Amino acid sequence: MRALSRRGMLGLGAGAAAAVSLAGCGGLTGSDDSGHADGSGGASAQGGSKPKPEPTARPIGDGSTAHTGKQPRQPAGPEPLEPGQTPPQFVVFSWDGAGEVGNGLFPRFLDLAKEHGAGMTFFLSGLYLLPESKKRLYNPPNNPRGASDIGYLTDEHVKDTLKNVRRAWLEGHEIGTHFNGHFCGESHGSVKNWTPRQWRSEIDQAKSFVKEWRTNTGWTDLPSLPFDYDKELVGGRTPCLLGQDNLLPTARELGWRYDASSPGGLQVWPAKRQGIWDLPLQQIPFPGRGFEVLSMDYNMLANQSLATTKAPAHNYPGWRRQSAQAYIQGFKRAYETNRAPFFIGNHFEQWNGGIYMDAVEEAFKHIAREKEKGADVRLVSFRQFTDWLDVQKPEVLDKLRTLGVGQQPAGGWREFTSQASTPSGEASRNAA
């Protein structure tokens, strides 16, 4: 990993937060860069009912994927806000890479989501289903054939990843994409420099590695992934939050509904860019510091231990508490004020002794307890949140977007949403 400048890590504002994320997010430990990610409408958010028996699968293509009917454990259909109604507090936990590399983190968080009736988004890196022996099947834009800035998984870890991706979908979670080779930085090969056509190639390849893992591995004794990936895939997050501008035209052409790649958003209600919902990671309070941090585990790390993932262990307890409280304070700020959706990004990594996994679990449980005490908190996937956005009246979303970070609605929610009756213009709904 290249060293980060002090200014790049500790500066204020969206640009500075993005600077940290651009250097991170990608494989500090080689093949262990395994997973950014997704909340209440998903998993068992329908009251904890057990999933129905899986119907007979109808294979697609070589049988790597299959039609199995409607996805289990989905929330009831979303409804538009009524005049005077308070918006729900949406929270999305998401995982970049979504590979299981033997550290047990993928099933750990599936178990946690199941326990609390939550849905999540798993942004699967396509290469995590491609054996290294077949790496020359990958032809990355502006890079040598077979190249990747994240390691290929062992065969056993590919099998483990298949098992957990299958389980995730059957338990109601979303399978998005983190694309493939995770090329960051400033070089010619970086995703930052890819054209819309090159993004199309990268996406087509990411989908093919999911849809043809059986052919590529030769394994015939493992069950199919229980979904049609052409229909399942409606959004993603780019490596290091780079390249969104040229990705969006391709995403729109493919019918994607959202993108989670914007580098450094605020805790406000989202708008569309180029017809796609723009759902960025957000700046949140960083306890004890005079600046805010991006809502991702790597950005906590970058501001705590600079360029290392194995800092002296005596720092771990304080850093874990600081990271957990950052997420919790970000949640509270939104819930108690503008009710903007809260987006959190993670990796299945044991950086600094695993403190960031412990921190995100602590924050998750805190938020889940609020839901279980009766608060209208919905732990959902990005796809489920997008479903809700798409049924709202445009004038209501326009009104919600007038609220700044930490701003309470004047006169209270009853008065605020009752006044949301006059559209404020198409421009604000489709911000460029």
- Banded model confidence at residue 263, pLDDT cuts 50, 70, 90: confident
| Assigned domain for 218 exists | yes
CA dist 248 and 375 (Å) reads 35
Q: What mean pLDDT is reported for the chain?
A: 88
- Banded model confidence at residue 54, pLDDT cuts 50, 70, 90: low
Whether the pLDDT of residue 14 is over 50: the answer is: no
- Banded model confidence at residue 56, pLDDT cuts 50, 70, 90: confident
Q: What's the pLDDT tens digit per position in 318-355?
A: 999 999 999 999 999 999 999 999 999 999 999 999 99
274-291 exposure pattern, b = at least 16 Cβ within 10 A, e = fewer: bebbbbbbbbbbbeeeee
CA dist 63 and 58 (Å) reads 8
Please write down the long-range contacts of 52-55, taking CB distance under 8 Å and 24 or more positions apart.
54/170, 54/226
| Assigned domain for 319 exists | yes
369 contacts: CB under 8 Å, gap ≥ 6: none
415-424 exposure pattern, b = at least 16 Cβ within 10 A, e = fewer: ebbeebeeee
What pLDDT is stored for residue 421 in this prediction? 59
CA dist 285 and 108 (Å) reads 27
R_g (Cα) of the chain, nearest Å: 20
Query: Which of 19-23, 157-161, 327-331, 421-425 shows the lowest mean pLDDT across its residues?
Result: 19-23
What average pLDDT does range 95-105 have in this prediction?
97
CA dist 246 and 141 (Å) reads 13
| Assigned domain for 111 exists | yes
CA dist 303 and 233 (Å) reads 33
| Assigned domain for 138 exists | yes
What pLDDT is stored for residue 418 in this prediction? 94
231 φ, ψ (degrees, to nearest 5): -90, -35
Tokens of 422: 């006059």
Whether the pLDDT of residue 125 is over 60: the answer is: yes
CA dist 226 and 283 (Å) reads 36
CA dist 78 and 76 (Å) reads 6
The residue count of the chain comes to: 432
Percent of the chain at pLDDT > 70 equals 84
| Assigned domain for 293 exists | yes
Whether the pLDDT of residue 13 is over 70: the answer is: no
CATH number of the domain within which 312 lies = 3.20.20.370
- Print the domain residue range for 90: 6-429
Tokens of 432: 């460029």
Q: What's the pLDDT tens digit per position in 264-275?
A: 899 999 999 999
Number of domains forming the structure of the chain: 1
323 to 98, 298, 307: CA distances (angstroms) = 21, 10, 17
| Assigned domain for 348 exists | yes
What pLDDT is stored for residue 55 in this prediction? 60
Q: What's the pLDDT tens digit per position in 24-53?
A: 444 333 333 333 333 334 444 434 445 455
What pLDDT is stored for residue 307 in this prediction? 76
What pLDDT is stored for residue 420 in this prediction? 84
What pLDDT is stored for residue 432 in this prediction? 43
Q: What's the pLDDT tens digit per position in 353-370?
A: 999 999 999 999 999 999
CB atoms within 10 A of CB 143: 17
Whether the pLDDT of residue 7 is over 70: the answer is: no
Whether the pLDDT of residue 179 is over 60: the answer is: yes
| Assigned domain for 1 exists | no
Percent of the chain at pLDDT > 90 equals 83
192 φ, ψ (degrees, to nearest 5): -60, -30
